[in-house]
């Protein structure tokens, strides 16, 4: 801009921030600038989706015959998902595109966090030692919460828009608090950073616990005694000047690895595997369909779908006869209610599967007109993905269609065995339920009825046994044995009965049978326990089921940072 004699305050420069009805101003600025050879900056064009087609026309109109010095600069925030890509192709194709990519890796992120400050910042507080230590710990924390996102649901259950403002405001708060109090108010600071500054973005309770745990590990009195490790092999630095801290990062920060985040190296393997699977799935979906396949390809495709369709219809059992089942029930115990509800949910799903498959069969024979729903079903069967209308009526799952259907048949068999005489199975497959919470609640209800205890004063106790499901011939007198859970982020040591570090490349390990029984809440032992969330799938987040307390010899915070959870399916 300097070579042409343009500066940001001269009158040949029009800066319009869009979003508050500024479109008319922007159009006037463009017309004037095109004639006079001025520059125009239009900021936040992503906020005016409806106006973008008019902007495209306007740019096309000025592309010829306008002044040679006329320039336009457009800015927009990145879209959160592909369906929010709203900037017209014409604008994109005719622009020189510059993107500001966020840095990747702990090293770049930590330098970037520190770049928000300077030597003057470090000298502004009277309590220099405390201020500098906490500021550096906050920079590490900031880099860590931003970069932990790359580990998917094991990193954070949900994605949050942490930003530079969170860090700079936290440092201002730190300065004000240190100036105003005689001793460092660690608890208050952690609360302000973890519940308000950063916590204000967080909507998931488990993510809130994670954020809080990081701050408890980093911001505590020991930080001034030179004993605090921000990560294995990376101690909190002592008192240095601004450039000294940047140098310290270069010299002392270990190479990028999940250890810097408190995670196990398996977390990286998991993310890379899922990314490659997603990539292959997209490549498969992009394969040309029958239009360019020629006659042979289209026929082969139809035959594949037809064979699969017939096999599924043949394997699907009849729906559960709810009226008959209810007639043979002597007493509607909490467990019986759960079994009947599960049968009803299963009927809704299997009847939709049968209906849609029969409809597609008729469509492929030419007896019905093919609709878009039928085509979607046909594509799903061919690509081995679970069809949309089935997903809506089913339970969360990340499986491909073949695995999903085999799993469905197993679920039906389990239900048939249970509703045969309604006696509780010796070991219950917790993942086999549409609603596992209802079964866990039933354990509490039946114990509460038996002992006449108030339900709201009860909790579940989980004792991990040393046995597998085959070793149990009958259910316990109270409670239930459950099987089919997997641990992610760590492993269960059956011999010592505690959580321990996972072995490399063992991403999810099957748990032994767990004995679950209901006890009065005030009787539960929470010492040396890790409150472990149970999720239905690896997606975690909204698939949360319950919390099981598991024994640990190490500090539970280790397992919080490692994202340790139990999963009902992998």
For residues 550 and 566, give the distance between their C-alpha atoms in angstroms, rounded to a whole number.
10
Candidate ranges 74-88, 92-106, 186-200; pick with highest mean pLDDT: 186-200
On whether residue 145 sits in a domain, the answer given is yes
Q: What are the residues whose beta carbons fall under 8 Å from the beta carbon of 121, sequence distance 6 or more?
A: 135, 171, 242
Asked whether the predicted pLDDT for residue 480 surpasses 90, the reply is yes
Query: CB of 47 within 8 A of CB of 18?
Result: yes
pLDDT value of position 119? 93
pLDDT value of position 254? 95
Confidence band of 229 (pLDDT split at 50, 70, 90):
very high
Query: CB of 282 within 8 A of CB of 147?
Result: no
On whether residue 526 sits in a domain, the answer given is yes
On whether residue 273 sits in a domain, the answer given is no
pLDDT value of position 10? 57
Tokens 């900031």, residue? 142
Asked whether the predicted pLDDT for residue 39 surpasses 70, the reply is yes
For residues 372 and 243, give the distance between their C-alpha atoms in angstroms, rounded to a whole number.
63
DSSP character string of 36-94: HT-EEEEE-GGG-GGGHHHHHHHHHHHTSSS-TT-EEEE--PPPSSGGG--S-HHHHHT
Q: Are residues 172 and 190 in the same domain?
A: yes
What Cα–Cα distance (Å) separates residue 395 from each residue in 106, 419, 477?
37, 20, 30
Mean pLDDT of 147-171: 91
Q: In the structure encoding, which two tokens stand for residue 115, read together?
A: 């770049």
CA dihedral 416, 419, 422, 423 (to 10 degrees): 0
Looking at 222, 246, 265, which one is the last position of a domain?
265
Q: Are residues 469 and 396 in the same domain?
A: no
Asked whether the predicted pLDDT for residue 293 surpasses 70, the reply is no
For residues 534 and 546, give the distance between their C-alpha atoms in angstroms, rounded to a whole number.
5
For residues 489 and 364, give the distance between their C-alpha atoms in angstroms, rounded to a whole number.
47
Query: CB of 468 within 8 A of CB of 513?
Result: yes
Asked whether the predicted pLDDT for residue 55 surpasses 60, the reply is yes
Beta-carbon neighbour count of residue 75 at 10 Å? 14
Range from 101-105, 200-204, 500-504 carrying the lowest mean pLDDT: 101-105
Residue among 539, 279, 277, 285 nearest 391 (CA): 539
On whether residue 272 sits in a domain, the answer given is no
pLDDT per residue as tens digits for the range 373-403: 999 999 899 888 999 999 999 999 988 999 9
Rounded (10°) angle between helices 128-147 and 205-218: 150
What Cα–Cα distance (Å) separates residue 479 from each residue in 226, 359, 439, 440, 476?
49, 44, 11, 9, 6
pLDDT higher for 345 or 273? 345
Range from 2-16, 44-58, 329-343 carrying the lowest mean pLDDT: 2-16
For residues 267 and 164, give the distance between their C-alpha atoms in angstroms, rounded to a whole number.
26
Q: What is the CATH number of the domain that holds 526?
A: 3.10.490.20
Max Cα separation, the chain?
A: 92
pLDDT value of position 297? 61
Q: Angle at the Cα of 114 (from 108 to 118), degrees rounded to 5?
A: 140
Q: Are residues 351 and 491 in the same domain?
A: no
What is the pLDDT of the chain when averaged over all its residues? 88
Asked whether the predicted pLDDT for residue 174 surpasses 80, the reply is yes
pLDDT higher for 48 or 349? 349
Q: What is the CATH number of the domain that holds 27?
A: 3.40.50.300
Q: Angle at the Cα of 149 (from 148 to 154), degrees rounded to 5?
A: 80
pLDDT value of position 90? 83
Mean pLDDT of 217-226: 88
Q: Are residues 311 and 415 in the same domain?
A: yes
Asked whether the predicted pLDDT for residue 291 surpasses 60, the reply is no
Looking at 94, 124, 145, which one is the last position of a domain?
94
Confidence band of 1 (pLDDT split at 50, 70, 90):
very low
Q: Are residues 260 and 143 in the same domain?
A: yes
Range from 3-12, 297-306, 487-496 carrying the lowest mean pLDDT: 3-12
Beta-carbon neighbour count of residue 353 at 10 Å? 20
Q: Are residues 417 and 435 in the same domain?
A: no
On whether residue 446 sits in a domain, the answer given is yes
- Tell me what percent of the residues of the chain surpass a pLDDT of 70: 95
Q: What is the CATH number of the domain that holds 406?
A: 1.20.1270.280
Residue among 270, 350, 262 nearest 538 (CA): 270
Asked whether the predicted pLDDT for residue 83 surpasses 90, the reply is no
pLDDT higher for 1 or 295? 295
pLDDT value of position 454? 84
Mean pLDDT of 155-165: 90
Tokens 């809080």, residue? 212
**Which residue range forms the structural domain that includes residue 45?**
2-94
pLDDT value of position 11? 58
Residue among 97, 29, 91 nearest 54 (CA): 91
Q: Are residues 53 and 189 in the same domain?
A: no
Q: Are residues 418 and 431 in the same domain?
A: no
Q: Are residues 120 and 212 in the same domain?
A: yes
Asked whether the predicted pLDDT for residue 105 surpasses 90, the reply is no
Q: In the structure encoding, which two tokens stand for residue 315, read together?
A: 């394997």
Asked whether the predicted pLDDT for residue 290 surpasses 70, the reply is no
Asked whether the predicted pLDDT for residue 126 surpasses 70, the reply is yes
Q: Are residues 454 and 555 in the same domain?
A: yes
- Tell me what percent of the residues of the chain surpass a pLDDT of 90: 53
Q: Are residues 413 and 489 in the same domain?
A: no
Phi-psi region of 524 (alpha: psi -120 to 50; beta: other; left: phi over 0): beta
Overall domain count for the chain: 4
Which strands make up the sheet holding 71-74, listed edge to edge? 13-17, 39-43, 71-74
pLDDT per residue as tens digits for the range 402-423: 999 999 999 999 999 999 888 8
On whether residue 119 sits in a domain, the answer given is yes
pLDDT value of position 227? 80
Q: Which residues of 499-513 are buried (b: 16+ CB within 10 A; e: fewer)?
A: beebeeeebbeebbb
Beta-carbon neighbour count of residue 89 at 10 Å? 9
pLDDT per residue as tens digits for the range 420-462: 888 889 999 999 999 999 999 999 999 988 888 888 888 999 9
Confidence band of 93 (pLDDT split at 50, 70, 90):
confident
Q: Are residues 560 and 455 in the same domain?
A: yes
The Cβ-side half-sphere exposure at 416, using a 13 Å CA radius, reads: 11
On whether residue 195 sits in a domain, the answer given is yes
What Cα–Cα distance (Å) separates residue 254 from each residue in 149, 560, 562?
20, 22, 18
On whether residue 278 sits in a domain, the answer given is no
Rounded (10°) angle between helices 294-315 and 401-421: 10
Rg (CA), the chain: 30
The model's pTM: 0.82
Q: What is the CATH number of the domain that holds 112?
A: 1.10.8.720
Looking at 389, 423, 457, which one is the last position of a domain?
423
Range from 9-13, 255-259, 446-450 carrying the lowest mean pLDDT: 9-13
């Amino acid at each position: 801009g300097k070579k042409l004699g343009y500066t940001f305050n001269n009158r040949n420069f029009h800066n319009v921030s869009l979003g508050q009805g500024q479109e008319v101003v922007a159009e006037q600025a463009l017309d004037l600038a095109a004639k006079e050879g001025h520059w125009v900056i239009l900021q936040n064009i992503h906020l005016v989706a409806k106006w973008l087609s008019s902007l495209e026309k306007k740019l096309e109109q000025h592309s010829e015959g306008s002044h040679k010095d006329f320039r336009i600069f457009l800015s927009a925030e990145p879209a959160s998902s592909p369906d929010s890509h709203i900037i017209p192709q014409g604008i994109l194709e005719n622009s020189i595109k510059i993107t500001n990519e966020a840095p990747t890796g702990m090293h770049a992120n930590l330098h970037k966090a520190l770049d928000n400050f300077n030597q003057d910042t470090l000298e502004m507080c009277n309590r220099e030692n405390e201020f500098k230590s906490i500021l550096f710990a906050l920079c590490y924390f900031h880099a860590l919460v931003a970069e932990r996102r790359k580990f998917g649901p094991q990193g954070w259950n949900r994605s949050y828009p942490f930003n530079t403002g969170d860090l700079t405001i936290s440092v201002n708060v730190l300065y004000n608090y240190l100036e105003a109090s005689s001793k460092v108010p660690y608890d208050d600071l952690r609360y302000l950073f973890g519940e308000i500054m950063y916590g204000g973005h967080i909507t998931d309770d488990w993510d809130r616990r994670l954020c809080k745990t990081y701050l408890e590990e980093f911001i505590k009195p020991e930080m001034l005694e030179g004993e605090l490790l921000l990560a294995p092999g990376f101690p909190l630095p002592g008192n240095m000047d601004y450039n000294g801290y940047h140098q310290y990062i270069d010299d002392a920060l270990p190479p990028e690895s999940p250890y810097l985040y408190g995670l196990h190296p398996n977390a990286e393997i998991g993310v890379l595997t899922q990314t490659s699977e997603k990539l292959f799935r997209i490549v498969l979906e992009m394969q040309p369909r029958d239009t360019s396949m020629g006659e042979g390809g289209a026929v082969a495709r139809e035959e594949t779908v037809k064979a699969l369709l017939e096999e599924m219809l043949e394997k699907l059992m009849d729906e559960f006869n709810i009226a008959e089942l209810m007639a043979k029930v002597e007493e509607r115990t909490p467990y019986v209610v759960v079994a009947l509800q599960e049968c009803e949910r299963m009927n809704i799903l299997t009847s939709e599967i049968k209906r849609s498959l029969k409809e597609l069969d008729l469509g492929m024979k030419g007896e019905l007109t093919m609709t878009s729903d039928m085509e979607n079903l046909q594509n799903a069967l061919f690509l081995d993905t679970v069809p949309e209308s089935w997903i809506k009526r089913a339970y969360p799952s990340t499986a491909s269609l073949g695995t999903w259907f085999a799993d469905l048949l197993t679920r039906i068999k389990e239900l048939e065995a249970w509703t045969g005489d309604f006696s509780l199975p010796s070991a219950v497959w917790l993942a086999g339920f549409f609603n596992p919470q209802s079964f866990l609640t039933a354990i509490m209800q039946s114990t509460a009825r038996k002992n006449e205890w108030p339900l709201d004063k009860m909790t579940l106790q989980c004792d991990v046994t040393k046995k597998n499901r085959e070793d149990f011939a009958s259910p316990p007198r109270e409670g239930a044995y459950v099987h089919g859970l997997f641990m992610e982020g760590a492993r269960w040591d059956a011999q010592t009965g505690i959580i321990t570090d996972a072995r490399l490349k063992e991403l999810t390990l099957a748990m032994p049978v767990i004995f679950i029984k209901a006890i009065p809440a005030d009787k539960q032992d929470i010492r040396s326990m890790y409150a472990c969330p149970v999720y239905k799938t690896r997606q975690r987040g909204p698939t949360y089921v319950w919390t099981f307390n598991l024994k640990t010899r190490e500090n539970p915070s280790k397992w919080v940072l490692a994202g340790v959870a139990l999963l009902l399916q992998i």
